[in-house]
C-alpha cells in the first residue's frame, strides 16, 4: 500500500468535498495524510474520524505572488522530505502549482485536480498569462491532471498549459455523497436557496435583484441566501446583503454550517454564477436532496442540468431571466417536484462520489 499526501487550499474542503475520496483511499489500505491551511477547528476531528492524518500548512490562498510564495515552495519541499509520501495529490490553484514544483524537486510523483479555473484563468490579462506559465511548469511534472468539466480541460490543453493531452482526465466534478445527502420532502411553499461565497461573479447581485421581482409576483415565495462574506477582490459587501434583507426581498442565513438542514428546507437550488466553476458542489448536494436547479449556461454550471429535465439554464448576468425561471417554478409545483426527482436520478447516474473516487484511484494505480 502507498502513503498518499492530499494537499488542498482550504482546510474545510477536506471534509466538506473530499471526504469520499479520503475515505476510499483509507478503505483501500493506503496511509493518507491531508494538508491544508489550518483555518477551521473542525478539521482535526473530521480527519481523525476518517482515519486520515492531519498536517496543517499555512499560506495565503487568495493571491499568487511568485516572489513571496517561494517560501511556500520551500515549506512544501520540507514537508515532503519529512512525510516521505509515495504520491502527492493536489487541488486548488496554489497547491496545484507549488505542490507540482516541490514534488518535481523532490522526485515524488504528483497529480493535480482542477476544481475550477476561477477568475484568474478566465479573465484575460497579465495575471492569467503569469498563472498559466506557472501551472504549465507544474503540469510537466504532474502525471495526471483531473478536470471537472470539458471547458476547463480544453482551455488548458489548447492553451498549452497541459502540453500532454493524455494526462488530462475528466471526472464528474468531485461527486456527491449520496448516502449523506438523501431525498427530503419538499416544503409546502416555494423556497429558493443560494449557497455561495458572496462574490459578484457567483451571481449574488443578480440573485438579489431577481428576488425583488419574484417577491412581487409570488409573495408567498421565500428566497434565502447563505454564505460567507469574501474580503478579497470581487466580493459583494455585506451591507448590500443586509439592505436586501431589510427590504424583505431575501432571508440571509449567514455562514451555513449545516447545509443538510438548509437544503431540506428549500425547494430549488440556485446558483447564477459565471465564476469559472469546476462543477458546483452546492448544486450537486441540492440535486442529491431531490431539488430542482436554476443555474447559468456557463462552464461547470451547465454540467448539473440534464436536458432541462431537472432544472433551468439561464444566461449569465441576466437577472430578468433568473427571475422568470424562479417565478415559473414557484407557480408550477408539479413541475418543480418532477424536476427534483430527476435531479436525484441524475445525481445517482452521474455524480456518485464513490465512482469519482474510484476513477481517480484507478488512474493513479492506488
Q: Which CATH superfamily is domain 191-350 in?
A: Glycogen Phosphorylase B; (3.40.50.2000)
pLDDT value at residue 267: 98
pLDDT value at residue 67: 67
pLDDT value at residue 62: 62
Give residues with Cβ within 8 angstroms of 327, minimum separation 6: 213, 214, 217, 218
Q: Give pTM, 2 decimals.
A: 0.94
270/208 Cα distance (integer angstroms):
12
Q: In what order do the strands lie in the sheet with 222-226?
A: 251-254, 222-226, 191-195, 268-271, 292-296, 311-314
Task: Give the bridge partners for 311, in sequence order.
Answer: 293
**Are the folds of 3-175+352-363 and 191-350 the same?**
yes
| Per-residue pLDDT tens listing for the chain (366 residues) | 899 999 999 899 999 999 999 999 999 999 999 999 977 889 999 999 999 999 999 877 666 666 677 888 999 999 999 999 999 999 999 999 999 999 999 999 999 999 999 888 878 888 889 889 999 999 999 999 999 999 999 999 999 999 999 999 999 999 999 999 999 999 999 999 999 999 999 999 999 999 999 999 999 999 999 998 887 778 999 999 999 999 999 999 999 988 999 999 999 999 999 999 999 999 999 999 999 999 999 999 999 999 999 999 999 999 999 999 999 999 999 999 999 999 999 999 999 999 999 999 999 999
**Residue 83: exposure state from Cβ atoms within 10 A (0-12, 13-18, ≥19):** middle
Q: Which CATH architecture has domain 3-175+352-363?
A: 3-Layer(aba) Sandwich (3.40)
pLDDT value at residue 66: 67
Q: Are 185 and 254 in contact (CB under 8 A)?
A: no
116/102 Cα distance (integer angstroms):
22
Ordered by start, the domain boundaries in the chain are 3-175+352-363, 191-350
pLDDT value at residue 314: 98
Specify the pairing of strand 292-296 against strand 222-226. unpaired
204/200 Cα distance (integer angstroms):
6
Strands (E), the chain: 3-7, 31-36, 53-56, 87-91, 110-114, 144-147, 168-170, 191-195, 222-226, 251-254, 268-271, 292-296, 311-314
Amino acid at each position: 500500500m502507498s502513503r498518499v499526501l492530499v494537499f488542498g487550499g482550504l482546510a474545510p474542503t477536506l471534509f466538506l468535498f473530499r471526504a469520499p475520496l479520503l475515505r476510499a483511499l483509507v478503505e483501500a489500505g493506503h496511509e493518507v495524510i491531508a494538508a491544508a491551511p489550518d483555518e477551521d477547528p473542525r478539521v482535526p476531528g473530521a480527519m481523525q474520524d476518517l482515519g486520515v492524518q492531519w498536517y496543517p500548512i499555512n499560506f495565503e490562498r487568495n493571491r499568487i505572488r511568485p516572489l513571496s510564495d517561494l517560501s511556500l515552495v520551500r515549506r512544501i519541499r520540507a514537508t515532503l522530505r519529512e512525510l516521505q509520501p509515495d504520491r502527492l495529490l493536489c487541488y486548488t490553484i496554489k497547491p496545484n502549482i507549488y505542490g507540482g514544483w516541490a514534488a518535481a524537486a523532490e522526485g515524488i510523483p504528483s497529480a493535480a485536480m482542477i476544481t475550477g479555473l476561477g477568475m484568474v484563468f478566465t479573465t484575460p490579462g497579465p495575471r492569467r498569462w503569469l498563472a498559466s506559465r506557472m501551472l504549465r511548469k507544474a503540469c510537466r511534472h504532474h502525471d495526471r491532471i483531473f478536470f471537472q468539466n470539458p471547458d476547463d480541460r480544453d482551455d488548458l490543453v489548447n492553451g498549452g498549459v497541459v502540453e500532454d493531452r493524455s494526462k488530462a482526465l475528466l471526472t464528474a466534478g468531485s461527486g456527491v455523497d449520496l448516502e449523506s445527502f438523501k431525498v427530503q420532502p419538499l416544503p409546502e411553499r416555494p423556497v429558493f436557496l443560494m449557497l455561495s461565497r458572496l462574490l459578484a461573479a457567483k451571481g449574488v447581485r443578480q440573485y438579489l435583484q431577481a428576488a425583488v421581482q419574484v417577491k412581487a409576483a409570488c409573495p408567498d415565495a421565500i428566497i434565502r441566501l447563505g454564505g460567507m462574506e469574501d474580503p478579497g477582490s470581487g466580493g459583494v459587501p455585506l451591507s448590500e446583503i443586509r439592505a436586501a434583507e431589510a427590504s424583505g426581498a431575501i432571508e440571509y442565513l449567514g455562514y451555513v454550517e449545516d447545509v443538510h438542514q438548509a437544503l431540506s428546507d428549500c425547494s430549488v437550488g440556485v446558483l447564477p454564477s459565471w465564476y469559472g466553476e469546476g462543477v458546483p458542489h452546492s448544486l450537486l448536494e441540492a440535486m442529491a436532496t431531490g431539488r430542482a436547479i436554476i443555474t447559468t449556461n456557463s462552464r461547470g454550471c451547465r454540467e448539473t442540468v440534464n436536458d432541462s429535465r431537472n432544472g433551468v439554464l439561464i444566461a449569465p448576468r441576466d437577472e430578468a431571466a433568473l427571475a422568470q425561471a424562479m417565478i415559473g417554478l414557484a407557480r408550477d409545483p408539479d413541475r418543480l417536484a418532477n424536476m427534483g426527482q430527476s435531479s436525484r436520478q441524475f445525481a445517482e447516474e452521474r455524480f456518485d462520489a464513490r465512482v469519482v473516487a474510484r476513477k481517480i484511484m484507478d488512474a493513479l494505480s492506488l
